[in-house]
Structure 1
């Protein structure tokens, strides 16, 4: 059977990821993976350097995705199916290019954990994320900001004369273009993924990449990799320490179902060893992932068998659907590291995903060296290391081939950056979308020196040094002053940011500039001034007819600030004005409980909490009073 690529529709019970939050996040980005000084000092020097290198200052210019619920309805999702006579892969271009399923046709075996529902949860850097399949994470430590965003997709000639599916986008957190080329050679049991990240700028750029594969977890699923040690990251103490594999702390940690708590194990692969990781069940069957040597890291993430771990898995899907673990592959040995990419350079590699069958007695035997040797030998027989290197060499010239037929469209940010930088990016054209309302003002700034934005509610901000310089020399106006303030805040120039927002107020911008000043007051420790500014911003937003999404997001910021300043009745008034649908959400219910406590109504506050409050967008590592 010749390889085919076709459009399809996948229908799932889904909760919408919701609109983007129009309020730029000005607070410091929380990071559950941040190490303290003592933990950093214990790392090898090269690892410590990469861990310290260029952590992101903030989420900007990316907007948050936090306006979603847990109400799921049958939803048709655009899908692209890649198929040969051995495998069938279903890809979701509108949801980060996620490979939703990979089925081995001769046996009918699903090789991935395919979530039967689409339920956003607060695990991505910018909020909404969903579990299952194979996801492509680029940007910074964590699940990427494109988890629920559309990617460009097209047919492209494949090295074997057939076709491959190209996925590509402009990653905005680091300002870098990337592509993933997926294809199934005729008769192959392996899905190939050629990946390339380019740095078209005149300065080095930090790069983060981890391919994350969800695999079914049975009580006897074992994860194997060619390592005798791993770097263990414990979320409770945010520590990173080298531990033996497989046995550590009284248990065999290569069995995810036996893990008592959620944890990361970054395998310490010896130099020269083939890069691979596999998850095999009690029958010695499962999925293996391998790659060329550029993708150095391998990791097991397990949710843990305690109540918290089970709760998180049920939160992301439906009870009774079975658990899963994640096997991952990355550019660096651990996910706490970012790798510098020189100006004008690129990182490129090839990954392969396919079925693996090994002797279960050896795989699950007490001899770890024999277990991994068995898996390695079966992998070599199924897909020799030399064949992966040869496939990579064959793919490299095709990475620049222009797409033949567009299958899906991503954002317009790449087109804007290509125009600004006058970039040539063979293989990844970034077309100007038919509807480019978000980019149009910035294109006007680029071409005329005047930010072409009007109205009471600013669009997304851009914060890179190049755009900040253009804003500094832009024709004066409230929107230019506002966006310049956001760029200055992102760069750490807080005093100048405040001056720019104050200028935007004088120039006629109302609640967005006042809200920015209020958020700055919170960060700088001025609670009374923050509360006053938030109160005025809420009133101005109501009078200006701001969007419901904006008013809801503003209320979520204003109420805690008003309570912190002792303005309980003002906080209650803001809550009362929130639309009833939004007010029923968990965060507002807890804020209502805090207002009741501030009024002295402890019984009323306790009743809300005792009734069980579900905070739909609770983030990883987040606490909410």
Structure 2
């Protein structure tokens, strides 16, 4: 069989993702503390201290999904030859969803026919399975539940390539994923390229995460005698790879709790990692040298660890489908960011296939298992093979697409126009075009702003038939960042109420927690709310979001009454806004005001009261006001919170408060410790 690339569809039981949150993501990211010291090298310690993103702005959160699923047909791209079949889902972050080794008949990846979203990603929504590609900052990528620009590229040599690319709005870089399968290859080859068009160094992060089936016999092997083991409190220690507190943690099911395990591979060692089952079969994740880090992640053998896997990957009978993850990144650990110089372009190659180890050797003494693994990896895909693939990828990287498959978002196209306007550097789009046809109503007001100031946009944005025209600088997802945008919004001829609101949001997103910065932010929000520009006040949505932003700024500055009052006003203006209500109730509870939380619920649209997150907040508020019986009644009736955050034990904690002495129901046990 020759190698082929085909377009098809795949039917999957899929939860409804829902609309993006209308709230600009100006609040600080929730991250565990970084506790790095002792025998941790300074390179890792320094990288963990530097480059953290303050927030995810201008990305919006994806948090309005539920647990109900229905059949959906997704675009799929299949690479296949006599040895391997690989299926990619470009509409879901470019996920490599299935990788079948034909010689053994085994699926190399943990995959399923049902996708449940859960709160594990930077933008909240994430799903388990396959191989995902993560860029920007520590966590699951902002694009993990979003479509990527996707096309087929045909090379002069006759090789067909699946190309996926996008503009990362957090670091303002362009990333590109090229996947191909040579005719006689036993591995799928994937080349990743990141281009930094900026005139400054940016903090860079990339990790490729592969979910693999986990059985009692599964073992993960990498060429490292030492490793860095972390706990969920953020601490990290250097340990013997095959001896973590007396346990050989390279067997995933021997880990009693969730853990990150980073292999300390020497600079002169080849970069590879293998997960082998009881037959010796399993995924090998091999790469060129730039992708230096390797990691094992396990959920742990606790009630909570099992509950999380059941929550993420339920089977037909409700039992969990156990999996672990093997991962590869550009840094030694996931705590770090790597400096990417101005104008730099980085490229590396990854290869995925069945290492087909001898099961007895794979299960044996660590050094012998590593030596055997190295031999089988070399036989699967040699150093020369990787070098040749990297050279090919370099030659093919800028070949223009032959056939477009899926459109990503329009922010890359807008970024090109913005940089033309400001005469800033941009990439050569020959291989990764951001076409005008990808522009939507979200980008329309920003194009109009640029056109009004220079007129470099040749064709005006035209709404599609039946699409309501956008309001200037309003609407979910229509946020941007950048000092040049701020300058345009504050130029005399451009001043408007909506523009003043967006300027306040941009300043808020980049402001520090200093009293001076927060005072400036508060003043800008008040200006947008109180002044009338060109006779037009803020629309209702923007007014609500301005009060919300002002409330956050006041709370950060220590003005508790003022901040909570502004948050409440926002809810009053949009009583049906789920996102505003959940945030406002949470802020009230976090600041010791349960009566306010209950009052906010009473004033909200009645349809919100039945939402799982809202019911949990209501029960929490009742418990805080001494109404334990009422809170217990809600908990015993049953609460399902679709966007429960990883590592949060709020359901079991609340149960123990209001139902003391009663066993915590299994559906509330998410603790991984």
Query: Normalization by structure 1: what TM-score?
Result: 0.94
Report SS of the residue matched to 2:417.
Answer: helix
For residue 599 of structure 1, report the CA deviation from its aligned partner.
5.0
Which residue in the other structure is 2:482 paired with?
A: 464
State the distance in 1 between where 2:490 and 2:250 align: 54
* Contact 1:154-1:406 within 8 A present in 2 as well: yes
State the distance in 1 between where 2:113 and 2:635 align: 31
Which residue in the other structure is 1:530 paired with?
A: 563
Report SS of the residue matched to 1:512.
Answer: helix
Pick aligned residue for 1:485 from 466, 479, 504 = 504
For residue 134 of structure 1, report the CA deviation from its aligned partner.
0.4
State the distance in 2 between where 1:518 and 1:298 align: 42
State the distance in 1 between where 2:629 and 2:351 align: 58
Pick aligned residue for 1:266 from 262, 267, 276 = 262
Superposed CA deviations along residues 407-466 of structure 1, whole A, max 9, x for unmatched, are: 000000011111212323231101123551111111122222499843875653212334
* Contact 1:157-1:398 within 8 A present in 2 as well: no
* Contact 1:228-1:244 within 8 A present in 2 as well: yes
Q: Which moves more between the two structures, 424-433 or 180-189?
A: 424-433
Q: Which moves more between the two structures, 52-61 or 419-428?
A: 419-428
* Contact 2:272-2:286 within 8 A present in 1 as well: yes
Superposed CA deviations along residues 341-381 of structure 1, whole A, max 9, x for unmatched, are: 1111111100000011121111111x211111111101111
Q: How does 1:249-264 map to 2 (within 5 A)?
A: 249-264=245-260
For residue 209 of structure 1, report the CA deviation from its aligned partner.
0.2
Aligned-residue Cα RMSD (Å) equals 2.1
472 and 281 in structure 1: CA distance in 2 versus 1, 3 angstrom threshold: same
Q: How does 1:222-371 map to 2 (within 5 A)?
A: 222-235=219-232, 237-318=233-314, 319-320=318-319, 322-365=321-364, 367-371=365-369
279 and 349 in structure 1: CA distance in 2 versus 1, 3 angstrom threshold: same
* Contact 2:53-2:137 within 8 A present in 1 as well: yes
Q: Which moves more between the two structures, 7-16 or 285-294?
A: 7-16
362 and 566 in structure 1: CA distance in 2 versus 1, 3 angstrom threshold: closer
For residue 470 of structure 1, report the CA deviation from its aligned partner.
3.2
Which residue in the other structure is 1:389 paired with?
A: 387
* Contact 1:205-1:343 within 8 A present in 2 as well: yes
* Contact 1:596-1:602 within 8 A present in 2 as well: yes
Q: How does 1:571-586 map to 2 (within 5 A)?
A: 571-586=597-612
Which residue in the other structure is 2:409 paired with?
A: 411
State the distance in 2 between where 1:567 and 1:265 align: 41
For residue 383 of structure 1, report the CA deviation from its aligned partner.
1.4
275 and 176 in structure 1: CA distance in 2 versus 1, 3 angstrom threshold: same
Q: Which moves more between the two structures, 40-49 or 203-212?
A: 40-49
Q: How does 1:176-255 map to 2 (within 5 A)?
A: 176-235=173-232, 237-255=233-251
For residue 524 of structure 1, report the CA deviation from its aligned partner.
2.3
For residue 228 of structure 1, report the CA deviation from its aligned partner.
0.2
Q: How does 1:81-230 map to 2 (within 5 A)?
A: 81-158=78-155, 160-230=157-227
Which residue in the other structure is 2:582 paired with?
A: 556
Pick aligned residue for 2:545 from 507, 512, 515 = 512
Q: Which moves more between the two structures, 4-13 or 354-363?
A: 4-13
* Contact 2:473-2:499 within 8 A present in 1 as well: no
For residue 609 of structure 1, report the CA deviation from its aligned partner.
2.3
Pick aligned residue for 2:525 from 486, 492, 501 = 501
For residue 395 of structure 1, report the CA deviation from its aligned partner.
1.7
Pick aligned residue for 2:62 from 62, 65, 68 = 65
28 and 369 in structure 1: CA distance in 2 versus 1, 3 angstrom threshold: same
* Contact 1:590-1:613 within 8 A present in 2 as well: yes
461 and 623 in structure 1: CA distance in 2 versus 1, 3 angstrom threshold: farther
Q: Which moves more between the two structures, 312-321 or 408-417?
A: 312-321
* Contact 1:522-1:561 within 8 A present in 2 as well: no
For residue 531 of structure 1, report the CA deviation from its aligned partner.
2.6
Q: How does 1:1-40 map to 2 (within 5 A)?
A: 1-32=1-32, 34-36=33-35, 39-40=36-37
Superposed CA deviations along residues 260-299 of structure 1, whole A, max 9, x for unmatched, are: 0110111000111110000001111111010100100000
Q: Which moves more between the two structures, 575-584 or 606-615?
A: 575-584
188 and 566 in structure 1: CA distance in 2 versus 1, 3 angstrom threshold: closer
Report SS of the residue matched to 2:319.
Answer: coil
Is residue 2:603 matched to residue 1:604?
no
392 and 447 in structure 1: CA distance in 2 versus 1, 3 angstrom threshold: same
Is residue 2:613 matched to residue 1:587?
yes
State the distance in 1 between where 2:580 and 2:447 align: 28
455 and 407 in structure 1: CA distance in 2 versus 1, 3 angstrom threshold: closer
- Number of aligned positions between the proteins: 613
Is residue 2:49 matched to residue 1:52?
yes
Superposed CA deviations along residues 585-624 of structure 1, whole A, max 9, x for unmatched, are: 2221122223434554221112212334222102223454
* Contact 1:457-1:512 within 8 A present in 2 as well: no
453 and 42 in structure 1: CA distance in 2 versus 1, 3 angstrom threshold: farther
Report SS of the residue matched to 2:208.
Answer: strand
For residue 569 of structure 1, report the CA deviation from its aligned partner.
6.0
State the distance in 1 between where 2:336 and 2:310 align: 30
State the distance in 1 between where 2:377 and 2:124 align: 37
Is residue 2:445 matched to residue 1:441?
yes
Which residue in the other structure is 1:421 paired with?
A: 419
State the distance in 2 between where 1:296 and 1:616 align: 35
State the distance in 2 between where 1:307 and 1:458 align: 39
State the distance in 2 between where 1:129 and 1:505 align: 36
State the distance in 1 between where 2:242 and 2:566 align: 56
* Contact 2:489-2:495 within 8 A present in 1 as well: no
For residue 515 of structure 1, report the CA deviation from its aligned partner.
1.6
Superposed CA deviations along residues 308-335 of structure 1, whole A, max 9, x for unmatched, are: 1111111101133531110000000000
Gaps of 5+ in 1: 543-547
Gaps of 5+ in 2: 421-425, 456-469, 512-516, 655-673
